[in-house]
Structure 1
Amino acid sequence: MLTGKQKRFLRSEAHHLTPIFQVGKGGVNENMIKQIGEALEARELIKVSVLQNCEQDKDEVAADISKGTRSEIVQTIGSTIVIYKESRENKKLELPKVK
């Protein structure tokens, strides 16, 4: 579970990122979950865009991705979801320590 300070840090890190996945009409499926999981392992922090023709609500999409990849939802802003998962091999981000 991320603290407020850690989420704020991750939001600032994600600001300049562009979404690398788009969820469209088909919604979230197993293949997408697998690819997002691999991207999280490589990058730790990614953005996912929810297209207008997506039948699921953006909050449902965020919950499905988070549950499927065992990651944390940092932020949902507009139709963009920011997701974080600590990498086992490629640790890049150093989160602020919890007091």
Structure 2
Amino acid sequence: MPLTADRKKALRARGHSLKPIVTVADKGLTEGVLEELNRALEDHELIKVKLAVNDREVRHELIAELCQQSKSELVQEIGKIALIFRKAAKPNARLSNLLRP
């Protein structure tokens, strides 16, 4: 289900102070990167991903593929940073970026 504009706005506000957890390099989406991405999304629900790729078109393609393979939604993309959201099946209040104050 796509995020509404109001929900995206709230997630952007929450994600403003976050630091990137996952970094995607020129090699693209390797198995290790996807495992770490899925683990981070399950733990935190809302994460920032840094893409160390200079070509803008390649970055857009990587973000689209990243969201598709992780079944997550893109909240915001600024430069080389993407803010990504996926609701956890069993959110952990100690780890989730959405449940912490």
**TM-score scaled by length of structure 1:** 0.85
Residue in 1 aligned with 2:62? Answer: 61
Q: What is the CA distance between 1:31 and its match in structure 2?
A: 2.2
CA–CA distance in structure 1, aligned partners of residues 26 and 67 of structure 2: 19
Q: What is the CA distance between 1:52 and its match in structure 2?
A: 3.7
Q: What is the CA distance between 1:56 and its match in structure 2?
A: 6.5
- Paired-residue identity, %: 33
Q: Which string of whole-angstrom CA distances, capped at 9 and with x for unpartnered residues, describes residues 52-95 of structure 1?
A: 4579621111111101110000011111000000011116437x
SS state at 1:57 partner: helix
Asked whether 1:87 is paired with 2:88, we answer yes
**TM-score scaled by length of structure 2:** 0.83
**Which runs of structure 1 show a deviation greater than 4 angstroms over 4 or more consecutive aligned residues?**
53-56
SS state at 1:28 partner: coil
SS state at 2:20 partner: coil
The residue type paired with residue 68 of structure 2 is K
Residue in 1 aligned with 2:20? Answer: 19
Q: Which moved more, 1:64-73 or 1:85-94?
A: 85-94
Residue in 1 aligned with 2:5? Answer: 4
**Residues 21/54 of structure 1: CA separation in 2 closer, same or farther (3 Å cut):** farther
CA–CA distance in structure 2, aligned partners of residues 90 and 33 of structure 1: 20
**What runs of 5+ residues in structure 2 fail to find an aligned partner?**
none
CA–CA distance in structure 2, aligned partners of residues 54 and 16 of structure 1: 26
**What runs of 5+ residues in structure 1 fail to find an aligned partner?**
95-99
CA–CA distance in structure 2, aligned partners of residues 75 and 29 of structure 1: 23
Q: What is the CA distance between 1:51 and its match in structure 2?
A: 1.1
Residue in 2 aligned with 1:51? Answer: 52
SS state at 2:69 partner: helix
Residue in 1 aligned with 2:42? Answer: 41
